[in-house]
Amino acid sequence: MSNQNLLSIAENLLQPLPNRGIVLLSARELNKMRRVGQLAANLLKHLEPMVQPGVSTQTLNDEAERWTQANGAISAQLGYAPPGYPPFTRSICTSVNEVVCHGIPNSKQILKDGDIINIDVTPILDGYYGDTSKTFLVGKPSVSARKLVKITQECMMQGIAEIKPGARIGDIGAAIQEYAEVNGFSVVREMVGHGVGRQFHIEPQIPHYGKRGSGLKLRPGMVFTVEPMLNEATCDIKFLPDRWTVITKDKKLSAQFEHTVAVIEEGVEILTIS
């Protein structure tokens, strides 16, 4: 599949509502985003002790669904169906090793010592979406796998550090790309961050590569995700037949971290912190 076709698929997955434009959230709405963001972060924290060799990704999914409902929320992923795509059948995404994103939990996928796994959660609380993910180490991964995970998290924070009123979207991607490449890793191009609030995926889109000084100017009230995906080698990806699961084309490792952030007068606020 060509890179252009991959880009088209990725854009469909992030397709905003027609004429939605950029949404600036009010102080009241930001408070709601703080609540759901904290809930999302706490869900990852709750699942972390379960990330052990011998545990299935389905078990992680089932506990996430139980915990989400017990805390008065629902899962945004469950049943999510962008135009032309089958409904997503689970409540979280579990992306193991070479899976870049959108891995579908199942009972046959058992975590092994040395794996890495990204868990992506998006609860909906009081009509607002909290979107976050983290890559966990299973047992004792290799030195190279640990470095990939460490640098991916640092790339996310490098990008977030660029966010303030008047900065440009390109500043975020440039910081991430520079840090990833100087450490020997590649950045996935086709999958991007996105606006979030009362909708799952809205404008603006946030590429994790780019040129400083380019792109939309950031304004207070904008809320979006920063979620870089770094590959161990080539940045090339491909979709599996389920039309959701994205893997590295060379089957080498991939890692991802994600926070939902708000542009505020003082700079940036990370909303998905437990």
pLDDT tens for each residue of the chain, 274 residues long: 444 444 444 444 444 333 358 999 999 999 999 999 999 999 999 999 999 999 999 999 999 999 999 999 999 999 999 998 899 999 999 999 999 999 999 999 999 999 999 999 999 999 999 999 999 999 999 999 999 999 999 999 999 999 999 999 999 999 999 999 999 999 999 999 999 999 999 999 999 999 999 999 999 999 999 999 999 999 999 999 999 999 999 999 999 999 999 999 999 999 999 8
- Could you give the domains of the chain? 3-270 (3.90.230.10)
Report the distance separating Cα 97 and Cα 247, nearest Å: 9
Q: Where are the beta strands (DSSP E) in the chain?
A: 74-75, 93-96, 99-101, 116-121, 123-125, 128-129, 132-137, 186-187, 193-195, 202-206, 223-226, 229-231, 237-239, 246-248, 254-256, 259-264, 267-270
| Cα 146 from Cα 53, distance rounded (Å) | 16
Alpha-carbon distance of 67 to 209, in angstroms, equals 35
pTM of the model: 0.93
Backbone angles phi, psi at 32, to 5 degrees: -65, -40
Rounded Cα gap, residues 58 and 50, in angstroms: 12
**240 vs 20, 85, 110, 150, 247, CA distance in Å?**
30, 13, 19, 27, 7
- How far apart are the C-alpha atoms of 59 and 69, rounded to whole Å? 16
What's the half-sphere exposure (Cβ side, CA atoms, 13 Å) at 178?
13
The residue type found at 198 is: R
Reduce the DSSP state of residue 173 to 3 states and report it.
Answer: helix
Nearest to 55 by CA among 6, 5, 121, 117: 117
Query: How far is it, in rounded angstroms, from Cα 137 to Cα 113?
Result: 9
Residue where the block lists tokens 């080539």: 234
Cα separation values, 70 from 14, 43, 123, 125, Å: 29, 11, 12, 12
